[in-house]
């Protein structure tokens, strides 16, 4: 018997399956099923939207539907954390070819729901539609709960740079998958699903962070945004960057050069990178550098041990 | 010289072009350019997400980029109006093949901005990414400003059904375009760009509407949602439905049968359909039917002149 496809379910059958048994927190006053969902924030609201497309951002051969659901939601909610906000709600627009198995969508939905639960956010709505390939657009919103938004522009000379989360693990995973390997497991899993440090955006805000960003394109690229927005320079201390055994293994096995490359230029782990007065760094965060005044050439830049990093510093190129 | 493509611009160049010169209303405290946009609502917030894909929801041969931008935003914001809320912000996730001309995206953006301006909403953020075809996912936010959300479930026997906006014009336009014609202009334009009755959601709420929905799949299908959610029956009066001259012309020219079919089953015009106590119907709205108690078979249904409509009542089938 052929597996059921989403064409068999139809739009309304699919939506019913995706939303069945959802419970809503008090802050969501109208859940899925009407023209809009409705929520009642207690402070200012932050919003961001993020797209993942098959064969651009993920491959079905490398990531299962559950992974894709978790990654789509996690990578979007990291932006909420990066404002110092608390995740509140998620809407998901899924496009897929009609022959997509229903089971793929149901597993994807389980991943979406699991990541929402980890973050404390509610899946409040979505859209399902036919499309040429699987495409997932997740729009997230969070509640600042009275806190001031943490911008990229607040870093001050004298601050230290610190992070919480993982760095360069997803990039090492992508490197091995691209060569046809499926191990080490730690980096492959990191490519499939980020481990977003939920709650640490609020923690950073309460600790007095001066700027915050989530690491989606690698620390050199992302701290570059902070440096430019703040009109400062940033220098990282390579000795403070712990290379994971799995990253060393990958670099050695595939001739990938210095494993610090994964850490400095690898995106998709969605760690949080913040700047703080030195005494304000929260517990669990690691100091990896410092904020400096602009040099005589007045060009905002990120250096490593005082020098321009010579490895691949390209970040992710979208087109 | 070859036209520039979005691959030539790169992601950041494209974002700069798309967001250049945007001004933000007071309610938007952080505009595009950080991890999230931030806004400060005055009441509960409504949210909805809507996808348009090339060759599923629009064809490049039939709709220009400016049209697609307006339609994507308008069809999404109609859901905000349908809650009785006031449009506040819009985020747009655009995916496109790398060879897409830059000009296509810039014209699309002009359409997005123009529709935002008509609605009084701000374009606060987005995402641009490579994808297999042009895909536009618009997520919209609105502010209830202290009003109660208008749900589909509030219709009561004794209410009248009224609408504001256009009905069946886009469907007639799609019918002629599908046969290779480009006229009458009124219906072709209606297919390309909806005319969302901005502000009328708030008006309906203030007038005391008991339910409200936007007409995206045709009144029979959309009022069917209201009937089921409210546990009522709805009967429409065909004599109250004004057939446009252009709709008559199309039905006669292409053998499309009764032009009322376009009105009753045609979606994509994004009129607002509401139920009201008879004395509460706002100025500019047209009464087209009434809400009845459920019949003895207790099946919520929408009838026309007391009978099941025999024309095509399928609405839009997504898969």
Domain containing residue B254: CATH number:
3.90.650.10
B179 and B294 fall within a common domain = yes
Please state the rounded mean pLDDT for residues A165-182. 94
- Percent with pLDDT over 90 in chain A: 85
How big is chain A, counted in residues? 319
Compute φ and ψ for A60, nearest 5 degrees.
-60, -30
Domain boundary among the residues B119, B143, B167 is at B143
Structure tokens at B224: 């069917």
pLDDT in tens, B214-253: 999 999 999 999 999 999 999 999 999 999 999 999 999 9
C-alpha span between B261 and B241 (Å, rounded): 11
| pLDDT score for B312 | 52
Asked if residue A311 has pLDDT above 90, the reply is no
Compute φ and ψ for B16, nearest 5 degrees.
-60, -40
A128 and A186 fall within a common domain = no
Nearest CA in chain A to B141: A36
Sort residue A77 into left (φ over 0), alpha (ψ -120 to 50) or beta: alpha
Q: Which of A110, A137, A138, A150 is nearest to A18 (CA)?
A: A110
Asked if residue A314 has pLDDT above 70, the reply is no
For residue B58, the cross-strand partners are B54
- Percent with pLDDT over 70 in chain A: 97
| pLDDT score for A219 | 97
Asked whether residue A15 is assigned to any structural domain, the reply reads: yes
What is the C-alpha end-to-end distance of chain A, expressed in Å? Answer: 41
For B252, other C-beta atoms within 10 Å of its C-beta total 11
Q: How confident is the model at residue A2 (pLDDT cuts 50, 70, 90)?
A: confident
Instruction: Give the SS3 label for residue A136.
Output: strand
Q: Is A317 annotated as a binding residue?
A: no
Asked if residue A234 has pLDDT above 80, the reply is yes
Structure tokens at A293: 């005044």
A139 and A33 fall within a common domain = yes
Structure tokens at B234: 């709805």
| pLDDT score for B257 | 83
For residue B54, the cross-strand partners are B58
For residue B139, the cross-strand partners are B49, B91
Does the CB of B72 have a partner CB in chain A at under 8 Å? no
Residue A5 DSSP symbol: B
B40 and B174 fall within a common domain = no
Asked whether residue A310 is assigned to any structural domain, the reply reads: no
Asked whether residue A311 is assigned to any structural domain, the reply reads: no
Asked if residue A205 has pLDDT above 50, the reply is yes
Structure tokens at B124: 């606060």
Asked whether residue A317 is assigned to any structural domain, the reply reads: no
B48 and B102 fall within a common domain = yes
pLDDT in tens, B204-216: 999 999 999 999 9
Domain boundary among the residues B143, B171, B190 is at B143
Contact between residue B91 and residue A49 where contact means Cβ atoms under 8 Å apart: yes
Q: Which of B211, B185, B20, B203 is nearest to B109 (CA)?
A: B20
Asked whether residue A315 is assigned to any structural domain, the reply reads: no
Asked if residue A315 has pLDDT above 70, the reply is no
Q: Give the burial class of B23: count Cβ atoms within 10 A of its Cβ; 0-12 exposed, 13-18 middle, 19 or more buried.
A: exposed
Asked whether residue A316 is assigned to any structural domain, the reply reads: no
Chain B positions in Cβ-Cβ contact with residue A57 (cut-off 8 Å): 129
For β-strands B122-130 and B86-96, DSSP reports them as parallel
Q: Is B143 annotated as a binding residue?
A: no
A160 and A109 fall within a common domain = no
A177 and A123 fall within a common domain = no
Asked whether residue B314 is assigned to any structural domain, the reply reads: no
A253 and A215 fall within a common domain = yes
Q: Which of A206, A203, A313 is nearest to A267 (CA)?
A: A313
Range of the domain at A96: 6-143
Chain B positions in Cβ-Cβ contact with residue A36 (cut-off 8 Å): 46-48, 79-80, 82-83, 85, 142, 149
Asked whether residue B228 is assigned to any structural domain, the reply reads: yes
Contact between residue A223 and residue A152 where contact means Cβ atoms under 8 Å apart: no
What is the C-alpha end-to-end distance of chain B, expressed in Å? Answer: 41
A122 and A207 fall within a common domain = no
Q: How confident is the model at residue A1 (pLDDT cuts 50, 70, 90)?
A: low
Domain boundary among the residues B143, B164, B192 is at B143
Do A51 and B137 make contact, defined as CB atoms within 8 angstroms? yes
Do A319 and B10 make contact, defined as CB atoms within 8 angstroms? yes
C-alpha span between A15 and A115 (Å, rounded): 19
Q: Is A217 annotated as a binding residue?
A: yes
Compute φ and ψ for B280, nearest 5 degrees.
-100, -5
A156 and A286 fall within a common domain = yes
Does the CB of B26 have a partner CB in chain A at under 8 Å? no
Q: Where are the alpha helices (DSSP H) in A208-319?
A: 219-230, 245-253, 260-265
- Give the ipTM: 0.93
B63 and B203 fall within a common domain = no
Domain containing residue A99: CATH number:
3.30.1330.10
Please state the rounded mean pLDDT for residues A192-197. 97
Compute φ and ψ for B285, nearest 5 degrees.
-95, 150
C-alpha span between B74 and A42 (Å, rounded): 28
Does the CB of B196 have a partner CB in chain A at under 8 Å? no
C-alpha span between B184 and A35 (Å, rounded): 31
Give chain A's domain count.
Answer: 2
C-alpha span between A82 and A80 (Å, rounded): 5
Q: Which of A5, A8, A10, A35 is the best substitution to test chain B (most B C-beta atoms within 10 A)?
A: A35
Asked if residue B319 has pLDDT above 60, the reply is no
Compute φ and ψ for A91, nearest 5 degrees.
-120, 145
Average of per-residue pLDDT values in chain B: 93
Contact between residue A81 and residue A201 where contact means Cβ atoms under 8 Å apart: yes
C-alpha span between A132 and A9 (Å, rounded): 18
- How close does chain B come to A49, measured CA to CA in Å? 6
C-alpha span between A155 and A166 (Å, rounded): 22
B59 and B186 fall within a common domain = no
């Amino acid at each position: 018997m052929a597996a059921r496809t989403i064409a068999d379910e139809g739009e309304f059958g699919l939506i019913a399956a995706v939303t069945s048994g959802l419970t809503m927190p008090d802050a969501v006053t109208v859940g899925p099923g009407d023209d809009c969902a409705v929520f009642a924030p207690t402070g200012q609201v932050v919003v961001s939207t993020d797209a993942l497309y098959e064969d651009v951002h993920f491959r079905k051969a490398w990531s299962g539907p559950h992974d894709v659901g978790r990654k789509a939601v996690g990578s979007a909610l990291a932006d909420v954390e990066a404002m110092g906000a608390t995740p509140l709600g998620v809407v998901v627009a899924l496009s897929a070819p009609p022959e997509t198995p229903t089971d793929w969508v149901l597993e994807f939905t389980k991943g979406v729901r699991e990541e929402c639960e980890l973050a404390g956010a509610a899946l409040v709505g979505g859209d399902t539609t036919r499309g040429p390939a699987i495409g997932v657009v997740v729009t997230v919103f969070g509640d600042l709960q009275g806190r001031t938004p943490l911008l990229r522009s607040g870093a001050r000379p004298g601050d230290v740079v610190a992070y919480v989360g993982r760095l360069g693990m997803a990039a090492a995973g992508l490197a091995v998958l691209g060569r046809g390997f499926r191990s080490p497991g730690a980096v492959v899993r990191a490519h499939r699903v980020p481990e977003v440090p939920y709650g640490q955006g609020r923690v950073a805000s309460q600790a007095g962070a001066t700027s915050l960003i989530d690491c989606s394109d690698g620390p050199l690229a992302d701290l570059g945004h902070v440096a430019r927005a703040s009109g400062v320079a940033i220098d990282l201390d390579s000795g403070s960057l712990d290379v994971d055994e799995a990253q060393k293994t990958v670099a050695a096995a595939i001739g990938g050069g210095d494993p610090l490359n994964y850490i400095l230029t690898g995106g998709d782990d969605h760690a949080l990178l913040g700047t703080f007065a030195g005494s304000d760094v929260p517990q669990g965060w690691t100091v990896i550098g410092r904020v400096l005044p602009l040099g005589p050439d007045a060009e905002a830049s990120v250096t490593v041990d005082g020098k321009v990093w010579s490895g691949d510093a390209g970040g992710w190129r979208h087109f």
